[in-house]
Structure 1
Amino acid sequence: MPSGKIRWYDANKGYGFIENEEGKDVFLPAMALPAGVTTLRKGTKVEYSVIDGRKGPQAMGLEVIASAPSLVKATRPKPDDMAAIVEDLIKLLDTAGNGLRRHHYPSAADSRKLATLLRAVADNFDVQE
């Protein structure tokens, strides 16, 4: 059974490509995915059968061998560091909340800073397995 790595896969389009061991691309339609799998990360190791499609080799009967590691998960802060970040963010939000109770939004610069921090913290919590 040939093996390779996912070059890219777009669940919305319903297809992607596998880079086989020789470095050539193999078309990967959504119907070739195993039951319960709806998306694949770039770099995921797979085994598959090959058939001749209309435009060249096409994968069928795909099996996931090893998922690609999550870059976000590997680079997120340690829990102790994250606790300090969350506590500082709570202080900033409390200050913004007090201003809002007095019918005043934070300044534009403070609002941008707060929004950036909220997005960064949210990204560290929202790690897909």
Structure 2
Amino acid sequence: MPSGRVRWFNANKGYGFIENEHGKDVFMPATSLPAGIKNVRQGAPVEYSLIDGRRGPQAMNVQLLAAKPSLVKATRPKPDDMAAIVEDLIKLLDAAGNQLRHHRYPSTAESAKLAKVMRAVADNFDVQD
């Protein structure tokens, strides 16, 4: 059975595309999904049967494979710890906002610290399930 990853899928349109192991797109109609599944996430690993459709290769009998566990998700801070980090970030942003209200940007060191913290917080929130 060929395999690949969902490149994108739109439940409202009723179709999407799988990127196969060779980097080629395969059309995936919603009717090819398992019973009870109405939507799939981008990047989800799948196996499928392949037929020649009117406009090229088309996936049928799509099987969703278990996603590999996320190392980032497993190592991100606990919610209570993340709450404290977000509160500290709010204080840093508030201080930067006050400086901007006085018509000056934070110093280079303060800006670098703020950017680093914001990136780290964003990375912890932007974990795909």
TM-score by length of 1: 0.60
Q: Is the 8 A contact 1:9 1:16 kept in 2?
A: yes
- The reply on whether 1:16 has 2:19 as its aligned counterpart is yes
Match of 2:29 in 1: 31
Would you identify which runs of 4 or more consecutive aligned residues in structure 1 move more than 6 Å? Answer: 24-27
Alignment RMSD: 3.7
Question: Would the alpha carbon gap of residues 85 and 120 (structure 1) be closer, same or farther in structure 2, given more than 3 Å must change?
Answer: same
Match of 1:80 in 2: 80
Match of 1:95 in 2: 95
Question: Would the alpha carbon gap of residues 72 and 91 (structure 1) be closer, same or farther in structure 2, given more than 3 Å must change?
Answer: same
SS at match of 1:90: helix
SS at match of 1:41: coil
CA deviation profile, 1:17-70 (whole Å, cap 9, x unmatched):
1x6xxxx9997433375263354426x3x44324468xxx86422021423434
Identity of aligned residues (%): 55
Q: Is the 8 A contact 2:49 2:60 kept in 1?
A: yes
Counterpart residue type for residue 121 of structure 1: V
- Segments of structure 2 that go 5 or more residues without pairing to the other structure are 10-15
Q: Is the 8 A contact 2:29 2:59 kept in 1?
A: no
Q: Is the 8 A contact 1:28 1:60 kept in 2?
A: no
Aligned length: 118
